[in-house]
């Protein structure tokens, strides 16, 4: 975990300031890793400022058009992993099916054990934003968010919440867990937006 400002450096056009490339896929989280033995007990709630609230099973998620995206990810702790291939569904497809209200400006991602992450609706709706259930052709491991996680590669990776259980559309920008503990409300790695004061 970082505390305080870091020296401004730029390694390449693909690497944001103060990041170092790794070929590993570090596991970072607080709390417990959930394990699902019976997927019939898992669901994803879509609610808030929408015309059609939804309670989606994993089969419902898999029934959306499949998307596959290749991208780089950047962790706020300083590592970047290049050329990840994710399989899942586009986040905007969920929003469009739910019918998000015009006054909605933000999204709150709800994960297991009450964890949350916030992001602007415009970030959620990007073509590159994904709700992923597989990485590099294999189902997500429990440590990396099985069965479903967010993937928002243009933001620091803490915004890509693991173990998703709810997507809430709101008018106001409510800080998530890490944002309440000093992390930046947006988290743009290219602007080095790691902490509240950045």
pLDDT at residue 161, as a whole number: 95
Instruction: Give domain status of residue 13, yes or no.
Output: no
Quote the domain boundaries for residue 114.
42-191
Residue 30 lies in a domain: no
Give 53-90 pLDDT, tens digit per residue.
Answer: 999 999 999 999 999 999 998 988 888 999 999 999 99
Distance CA 13, CA 30 (A): 31
Question: Structurally, how many domains does the chain consist of?
Answer: 1
Mean pLDDT of the chain: 90
Q: Mark residue 113 as left, alpha or beta (left: phi above 0; alpha: psi -120 to 50; beta: remaining).
A: left
* Rounded average pLDDT over 9-29: 78
Cα angle vertex 31, ends 27, 37, to 5°? Answer: 80
pTM of the model: 0.88
Whether 3 is covered by a domain: the verdict is no
Residue 114 sits in a domain whose CATH number is 3.90.420.10
What distance in Å separates the CA atoms of residue 44 and residue 196, rounded to the nearest whole number?
Answer: 30
Residues of the chain with pLDDT > 70, as a percent, come to 92
Distance CA 79, CA 157 (A): 10
Inside any domain, residue 131: yes
DSSP string, 41-108: G--EEEEESBSS-EEE-HHHHHHSPPEEEEEEEE-TTSEEEEEEEEEEEEHHHHHHHHTB-TT--EEE
């Amino acid at each position: 975990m970082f505390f305080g400002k870091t020296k401004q450096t730029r390694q390449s056009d693909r690497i944001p300031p103060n990041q170092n490339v790794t070929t590993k896929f570090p596991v970072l989280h607080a709390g417990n890793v959930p394990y699902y033995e019976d997927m019939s007990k898992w669901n994803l709630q879509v609610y808030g400022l929408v015309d059609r609230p939804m309670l989606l099973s994993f089969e419902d998620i898999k029934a959306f058009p499949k998307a596959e995206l290749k991208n780089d990810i950047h962790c706020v702790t300083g590592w970047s992993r290049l050329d990840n291939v994710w399989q899942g569904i586009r986040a905007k497809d969920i929003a469009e099916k739910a019918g998000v209200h015009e006054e909605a400006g933000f999204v709150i991602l709800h994960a297991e054990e009450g964890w949350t992450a916030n992001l602007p609706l415009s970030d959620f709706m990007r073509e590159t934003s994904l709700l992923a259930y597989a990485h590099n052709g294999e189902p997500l491991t429990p440590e990396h968010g099985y069965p479903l996680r967010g993937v928002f590669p243009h933001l620091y990776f803490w915004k890509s919440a693991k173990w998703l259980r709810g997507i809430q559309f709101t008018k106001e920008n409510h800080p998530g867990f890490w944002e309440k503990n000093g992390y930046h409300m947006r988290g743009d790695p290219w602007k080095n937006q790691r902490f509240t004061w950045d």
